[in-house]
Amino acid sequence: MHRGDFGIENFNSSQGHIVYKYFQIEEFASPDDLTSGNMMDSLLLDKLDLARDICGFPLIINSGYRSIEHNKKVGGVANSSHLLGLAVDIHCTDSRKRFMLLDALLVAGFDRVGLADTYIHVDVDPEKKPCVIWTY
């Protein structure tokens, strides 16, 4: 078992918090606060789990929740959805996987997508305009 694909045993975890089929909550933590993965929006993680199921390959989370300090450090915008636990950046550098991942994310119901050279950002921020795909 490797990072990005924690498999079915995580789904059966009985640790008393919400668990996901393919992800551990720690994968979404801000690096300066290792428990902050709990700040992630559960609707987002449900959709992400579904997208992972559809695309069929492991997803590496580059960035999930960000503290204000960490967001500044990585050059995030001041109103970043990462500050609210409403966004994830998924590692992706391969054109074929980018196609498959984008398709899976859209089928799973994401309607705010940012395409970068090395990752795909998705968020579920209700304060921002839906049905958009942008580039960096």
Residues lying near Zn ion in the complex (CB under 5 A): 87, 89, 121
Contact of 39 with 65, CB cutoff 8 Å: yes
Query: From the CB of 83, what's the least distance to Zn ion, in Å?
Result: 11
Tell me whether residue 41 or residue 89 sits nearer to Zn ion (CB atom). 89
DSSP H/E element including 121: strand 119-123
Query: From the CB of 116, what's the least distance to Zn ion, in Å?
Result: 8
Whose tokens are 């393919």? That residue is 22
Q: How many CB atoms lie within 10 A of CB 11?
A: 12
Tell me whether residue 54 or residue 116 sits nearer to Zn ion (CB atom). 116
**Closest-approach residue to Zn ion (CB):** 121
Dig out the tokens for 18 from the structure: 């919400």
Query: From the CB of 80, what's the least distance to Zn ion, in Å?
Result: 7
CA–CA dist 64, 40 (Å, integer) = 7
**What 3-state DSSP class applies to 56?**
coil
Query: From the CB of 114, what's the least distance to Zn ion, in Å?
Result: 6
Tell me whether residue 10 or residue 97 sits nearer to Zn ion (CB atom). 97
Tell me whether residue 49 or residue 123 sits nearer to Zn ion (CB atom). 123
